[in-house]
Amino acid sequence: MVILKSPNEIEKIRQSNVIVAEILEILQQEVEPGTNTMELDQISEELALDSDAKPAFKGYRGYPYSLCASVNQQVVHGFPSKHPLKEGDILSMDFGISYQGYYGDAAITVPVGKVSPVAQQLMATTKEALFSGIEQAAPGKRLSDISHAIQSRAEAVGFSVVRQFVGHGIGKALHEDPQVPNYGKPGLGIRLKPGMVIAIEPMVNAGGYEVKTLDDGWTTVTKDGSLSAHFEHTVAITEEGPVILSAANGSQ
Ligand code: MF3
Ligand code: CO
């Protein structure tokens, strides 16, 4: 069941997501060769607690950390590690909190120093795919219009979208209905209405779309070892169209 939010609730979800966006911005500034992602996990947790927010992922279905830190061929749910990042890596950081009863959730992928042209193109394409999806998050459209826009953008340059993980409704729970796939034919699924709030989160692989989860039960990698990028925004559907709630200063 999709839970519609009042303008007042959307404002609260925005406040939660602005905290997430600001924390991701700070983490991004810490990313350089030699940084380890365990430090980033600690910083994310401290910054959340300093903002009177609770990290949303830690303890969620047993996930052991505040931050998901997925390097190179890791797609999502990578465990923070003491292993230092090196020049040329790409790092996906997915972070969520709850703040005054409402959840925030967003993700970015950033370069570590100078990265290869294909890594750059992968990150740029994944972000563009996210924004193509966001454009479709308007009243009167259908859910799979978002999915289709994302898939088309990613596949236009020969990349592939992960099928096994999807975006989601968000509000008083981290994961609400509807599921938001990153692939599909247009014009299908529920009709989008003002008051819906969804996290749109394409994961795009440089190679094939298949992924596998490692023995730790979380870390998910591409089956073919190709690079993967992940961007996520929490978005409200309003009468005026899509509004990105997880933007640090009304931008991004
Ligand atoms: N953005 C991801 C999601 O919505 C992050 C979840 S990590 C988890 O599923 F640990 F909380 F599962
Ligand atoms: Co999410």
145: left (phi over 0), alpha (psi -120 to 50) or beta: alpha
Please indicate whether residue 60, judged by its CB atom, sits closer than 6 Å to ligand 1: yes
For a pocket test of ligand 1, which of 77, 162, 235 has the largest count of ligand atoms closer than 8 A to its C-beta? 77
pLDDT of residue 33: 98
Start-to-end C-alpha separation, the chain: 30
The confidence band for 197, taking pLDDT boundaries of 50, 70 and 90, is very high
- Of 250 and 31, the structure prediction assigns the larger pLDDT to 31
Per DSSP bridges, beta strands 67-71 and 211-213 are unpaired
Q: Which residue segments constitute the domains of the chain, with CATH numbers given?
A: 7-250 (3.90.230.10)
For the segment 41-60, the average pLDDT, to the nearest whole number, is 98
As given in the structure block, the two tokens for residue 114 are: 């100078």
pLDDT, position 55:
98
- Which amino acid does the sequence have at 112? V
pLDDT at position 251, please? 55
Q: Which SS3 state, helix, strand or coil, does residue 150 take?
A: helix
Q: Specify the ligand 1 atom closest to the Cα of 60.
A: 11
Joined together, the tokens standing for residue 21 give 């966006």
Find the radius of gyration of the CA atoms of the chain: 17
Q: Ligand 1: does its nearest atom lie under 6 Å from the Cβ of 30?
A: no
- The finding on whether 68 has its CB within 6 A of some atom of ligand 1 is yes
Cis peptide before 178 (omega within 30 of 0): yes
Report the SS3 class of residue 244: strand
Per residue in 202-219, pLDDT tens? 999 999 999 999 999 999
Query: For 135-181, how does the pLDDT look when each residue is reduced to its tens digit (9 = 90+)?
Result: 999 999 999 999 999 999 999 999 999 999 999 999 999 999 999 99
Q: What is the pLDDT of residues 68-127, one digit of tens each?
A: 999 999 999 999 999 999 999 999 999 999 999 999 999 999 999 999 999 999 999 999
User: What pLDDT was estimated at residue 252?
Assistant: 54
Please report the atom of ligand 1 found closest to the CA of residue 170. 4
User: With a 6 A CB cut-off, is 247 part of the ligand 1 pocket?
Assistant: no
Q: Which of 64, 118, 66, 65 is nearest to 90 (CA)?
A: 118
Res 3 pLDDT > 80? yes
Cα(20) to centroid(ligand 2), Å: 12
